[in-house]
Structure 1
Amino acid sequence: MSINLETATDSLRDLFHIGTEKLKAITEHFTKELTKAGLSIEGGNIPMNPTFLVDTPKGDERGSYLTLDMGGSHIRVCQVVLEGKRHARVSARQYDLPEGLKSSTAEELWDHMASCVAEFIEHEQPKENRKDKQLLAFTFSFPVTQSAVNRGVLQRWTKGFDVSGAEGYDVVEQFEAALKRQGLSNVEVAILINDTTGTMVSSMYREPDTCIGAIFGTGCNAAYMEDCGNIPKLREPQFKPGVLMAINCEYGAFDNEHLVLPRTKYDVTVDKESPRPGQQSYEKMTSGLYLGEIFRLVLQDLKSQDLIFRGKEVPMLDKSQTIDCIMLAKIGMTNHFDKREVLEHLLKIPLNEEEVRLCRDLARMIDMRAARLCACGLAAIYKKRGLSSCVVGIDGSVLLNNPELKDNVLQALGEILGYPVDKLPLRLNMVKDGSSEGAAIAAAVTGKGAGKI
């Protein structure tokens, strides 16, 4: 590797590395934000939304539910059949979420989602059952203010969405109106739940010691069970101290004031060019939607200094959102067999060995920083609740597509909490596609009826 490029690589390594003391400082500030601001009557940057879900699964739940999972990149419709004995059968179809819908109108978005449900019913259910009353568990991975388990007003869009006519409105009412336009007036939304809460409930179903659910995917967020006595903004008198309620943190908004997060000039650019500048600061450094964009911006910067890709035209470096977290994982993972082939297919140019090595190292730096920052949020919840042990249910494309990052999260948790990794009181339980199953389980435990098995 040339001296100039080697120097640049060392500088980048220093730029993206977060040491133990900085991890502890971030976690300390995070814990204060969770405790003093989010749950208070006044609120704070981190919404800390009460979900009104106070029941947890016993494993003997039975029933059949439609589920709709709307995340940041796809729509997933499932039929989840709970059979008791901690067992569930799931049939699923995944649908594209066209990029244009992310900046469309509410009616266009909900109509598309309702059409996905209609298509699923037509192809997956017997004809004689399609007109029966059906309960649907709606996983909606955006911050809402809930007034009941099946009601929620959208606070703001995240994950790059900017759909008009939805913020400030009950998303269940709008979606049920779209279902009726599709001729599905027999489908009723039984529960509205975030993917983090769904993942937590799904993990609880098989791992009763689960007390945190986390998503490291298109977005970054967590949910946990909080004592209602510690939620000053919860005004409903039926929720007494000692009762545990699921809290959807929506902590992608952590440190919007930029007090402790170690932002680089690339993070600043990502924020400035996003649909909502100044919001979701933590998410923009940790989530799959943005990690590939950080990688692109660094390569673009190195190319502008003539440190890499000399004499080569690389048009894709000038196009935003062209590298996703799955591609980043392939570039950075130790055991991926041919990084040169992956990179040359991506960049559309031949690469020399030092360019391949630089791209590999950079992908690892960005992913490792994200993993270490993600550990801060989990450690903050653990400390805020005063837990002595905990299982964390985790889903999301960032960790699922790069298993090495799980070790990075555990290593950072050990550094923050002062444990060797093999003695950590937290265990990570990977729950693939748990948000859909968890939504159905949550609908069952709330007593919202059950469909026919």
Structure 2
Amino acid sequence: MDSEKLVGHDSWRQRSELKAMADLPPELEDVLSKLDQEFWVPTEKLHSIVEHFIEEMEEGLSTGEPIPMNITWVHSLPTGDEKGTFLALDLGGTNLRVCKIDLQGNGGKHSIDQAKYKLPPELKTGNANELWNHVADALAQFMEEKKLGAEYHERNPVPLGFTFSYPATQDRIDHGVLQTWTKGFDIDGVEGHNAAAQLREAITARDLPIKLVALINDTVGAMVASAYSDPETIIGGIFGTGCNAAYMEDCKSIPKLKADLPRDSKMAINCEYGAFDNRHRVLPRTKYDEQIDEESPRPGEQTFEKLSAGLYLGEIFRLALVDLVERGLIFKDQDTAKLKKPYEIDTGFLSQIEDDESTHLTTTRDLFQSTLSLSPSEPEIELVRRLAEVIAMRGARLCACGVAAICKKKRIQKGHVAADGSVANKHPKFKKRWAEAMAEILGWEEGRMEDPIVLTSAEDGSGLGAAVIAAMELKRRGEA
């Protein structure tokens, strides 16, 4: 164990924001102290993580590894004056969303009319033709439902921004070669192919008056959508199922960019930094983190995401509880079969525990009963609350590192980080903990009236962001 983590037997009590509801017996007190030492990330460690983050980002801008640092061909943030009518298409994990978006300019005013179409489960393991035919059918249905056929035709197609939130390599903004499927998709005939071209072919086959202008990632979309109405936006961040960020980079600082662009031009970079520290050089991994990685579909990949993202926080918590059960420390003489089921607990479970202010913590008791068929004792309730806290706290502090690394690299001292995702926007204490870690890393002065860099809730990046990017691209081409 790192010596810098050995910060005192009662350190978790000093840091805890939870009011004690019961005394812990000595053996659980000792267990909790050791777990806290494993999960706590002190200031010195935050600094070393951020410095290594910057190094890997620089590598990614040169070679695409270990952090991809994907070039997006979005050349600027919006002015807020972009106007026009656009379609936006968002291919999500369970739904397909189509939006008609009217951009009115004037500081980011806009209106959205949208519809969702269910993705059949069998489509996720089908083939490329089935996928794109389904998408084109949804676009055709939306055009008909919204009566857009009268206004748009072959000589005047409606421009489309396509949010494709999967790792893709782009040679230009209306192009995207899928690197690998994620989110449970395994559709044959798309990996290694240009998804934009495949969609375009399906649109053309149906004679739909739609012109695909831009393929975007949701992180870049969050940044651009927020910047449309908030000029102080500096970064787009995803703190939800996954963990990622996007920012504007100087083209002269992107060695792998071979395009002949003016040296003073800029480029939005989709970091895809869930892959940070895949070589395991700096992140503080516990045995629970190592188990999650070993049992994941892709061991050795997405190391940072597996420590900090919403998909995994509940599983880390579950594995720690299972460990304590197997050591005979908690839930004695109870049926723990449900607890031993992988991913039975999600991050929302942890949020509810930390947010529980009910008398006698009945919300937490009911949660354990309804989800896991367990009846915790008073000391066990106290233990699980503290454990939920230390795991969520580590996640928030690690999430600050990626944004802090961008800020240090680009010498950004103030602005808004447009945050999307359930962890950022639903966990009751994420933003506070994230800000505290940012202050430690960037050396913000104590007693300040406000934080120089703050999290704001991202606008609809997959809808509004796609439309605004399409508008900027048409203007850049001289077609607006």
TM-score with structure 1 setting the length: 0.90
Instruction: Answer yes or no: is the 8 Å Cα contact 2:76–2:248 preserved in 1.
Output: no
Which AA in structure 2 matches 1:77?
Answer: V
1:22-171 equivalence runs, <5 A: 22-35=45-58, 37-40=59-62, 42-72=63-93, 74-85=95-106, 86-94=108-116, 104-118=126-140, 120-121=142-143, 123=145, 125-126=146-147, 128-129=149-150, 132=153, 133-159=157-183, 161-171=185-195
Which AA in structure 2 matches 1:367?
Answer: A
Deviations 1:146-183 (A, max 9, x none): 111110112233455544432211111233345567x4
Matched, 1:343 2:371: no
CA distance in 2, matches of 1:416, 1:167: 39
Q: 1:436 to 1:104 in 2, by over 3 A?
A: same
The SS at the match of 1:92 is strand
Corresponding residue of 2:210: 187
The SS at the match of 2:171 is strand
CA distance in 1, matches of 2:382, 2:459: 31
2:279 to 248, 257, 268: 257
5+ long unaligned stretches in structure 2: 1-23
Which AA in structure 2 matches 1:302?
Answer: L
Instruction: Answer yes or no: is the 8 Å Cα contact 1:199–1:393 preserved in 2.
Output: yes
Corresponding residue of 2:6: none
Corresponding residue of 1:428: 455
1:378 to 377, 381, 403: 403
Which AA in structure 2 matches 1:435?
Answer: S
Q: 1:226 to 1:445 in 2, by over 3 A?
A: same
Paired residues, number: 445
> Which stretch of the first structure deviates more once superposed, 395-404 or 375-384?
395-404
Matched, 1:447 2:474: yes
Corresponding residue of 1:15: 38
The SS at the match of 1:317 is coil
Following TM superposition, by how much is the alpha carbon of 1:130 offset from its aligned partner in structure 2, in angstroms? 9.1
The SS at the match of 1:446 is helix
Q: 1:259 to 1:107 in 2, by over 3 A?
A: farther
Following TM superposition, by how much is the alpha carbon of 1:359 offset from its aligned partner in structure 2, in angstroms? 2.4
Percent identity of the aligned residues? 46
1:391 to 416, 423, 443: 416
Following TM superposition, by how much is the alpha carbon of 1:194 offset from its aligned partner in structure 2, in angstroms? 0.8
* CA RMSD of superposed structures (Å): 2.6
Instruction: Answer yes or no: is the 8 Å Cα contact 2:308–2:396 preserved in 1.
Output: yes
Q: Find runs of 4+ consecutive structure 1 residues off by over 6 angstroms.
A: none
Instruction: Answer yes or no: is the 8 Å Cα contact 2:235–2:416 preserved in 1.
Output: yes
Following TM superposition, by how much is the alpha carbon of 1:105 offset from its aligned partner in structure 2, in angstroms? 4.2
Q: 1:389 to 1:280 in 2, by over 3 A?
A: same
5+ long unaligned stretches in structure 1: none
Deviations 1:169-203 (A, max 9, x none): 1111233345567x473333221111110011011
Matched, 1:437 2:459: no
Deviations 1:219-247 (A, max 9, x none): 1111100111111111111x221111111
CA distance in 2, matches of 1:284, 1:393: 22
> Which stretch of the first structure deviates more once superposed, 250-259 or 210-219?
210-219
The SS at the match of 2:198 is helix
CA distance in 2, matches of 1:115, 1:327: 38
2:342 to 317, 320, 323: 320
Max Rg structure:
2
> Which stretch of the first structure deviates more once superposed, 317-326 or 268-277?
317-326
Which AA in structure 2 matches 1:89?
Answer: S
Q: 1:311 to 1:325 in 2, by over 3 A?
A: same
1:396-415 equivalence runs, <5 A: 396-415=421-440
Q: 1:127 to 1:427 in 2, by over 3 A?
A: closer
Corresponding residue of 2:3: none
